[in-house]
Amino acid sequence: MKLDHPRVDPLTDSEIDQETRNLFGAGPVLNIFRTLAQHPKLLKRWLVFGTHVLGKSTLPARDRELLILRIGWLCGSEYEWTQHVAIGKLCGLSDDDIARIAVGPDAEGLDAFDRVQLRAVDELRRDAFISDATWAALAERYDAQQMLDLVFAVGQYQMVSMALNSLGVQLEDFTPRLPPGARP
């Protein structure tokens, strides 16, 4: 974690208004949502886009999680990383896959297409642009909608990582922490 305390306090259950509470259903409300609930109008509109990227994207779930994990790692967002390690495992990523994502596109043992996807994330983070060679390799498997979903997924999770880091959103008590010295 970049901060050991929140800069914007997450709302308690009693502080969340009913309209905002209805956005989350009956389950527990994660700290990211409790924090963003400080600005209910922003939260409501952001959730529409976030729901598309996370749940309605044309990308295969495993690929989407690979992209999210890589950008979370590059942004140094422990909150993003730990949340999506769990989601990634549910979507078919192995512990070895997750370790390779942290290393990046040059990691030994990477599948060729995973390597291309990680390279695309690195290029977007570094240059705000996917090179022609990487684009062509992605386009061998992805159609136009999937290419759009890839770019917007990386952008969405870079923005989310920036918010999590800057706002000081803390891990939930039940979320496993990274070992000391581990990074994102």
Cβ–Cβ < 8 Å for 72, 48: no
Domain-located, residue 123: yes
What pLDDT score does 179 carry?
A: 63
Residue type, 49: F
Distance CA 107, CA 115 (A): 8
What pLDDT score does 27 carry?
A: 81
Domain-located, residue 154: yes
CATH (domain of 79): 1.20.1290.10
Residue type, 170: Q
Domain-located, residue 75: yes
Domain-located, residue 47: no
Cβ–Cβ < 8 Å for 91, 73: no
Domain-located, residue 83: yes
Domain count, the chain: 1
| 184 residues of the chain, pLDDT tens digit each | 889 999 999 999 999 988 898 998 888 899 999 999 999 999 999 999 999 999 999 999 999 999 999 999 999 999 999 999 999 999 999 999 999 999 999 999 999 999 999 999 999 999 999 999 999 999 999 999 999 999 999 999 999 999 999 999 999 988 877 766 677 7
Domain-located, residue 109: yes
What is the domain extent for residue 63?
A: 59-167
Domain-located, residue 65: yes
What pLDDT score does 108 carry?
A: 97
Domain-located, residue 49: no
**pTM summary value:** 0.95
Q: Which two tokens stand for residue 135?
A: 């684009």
What pLDDT score does 74 carry?
A: 95
What pLDDT score does 63 carry?
A: 98
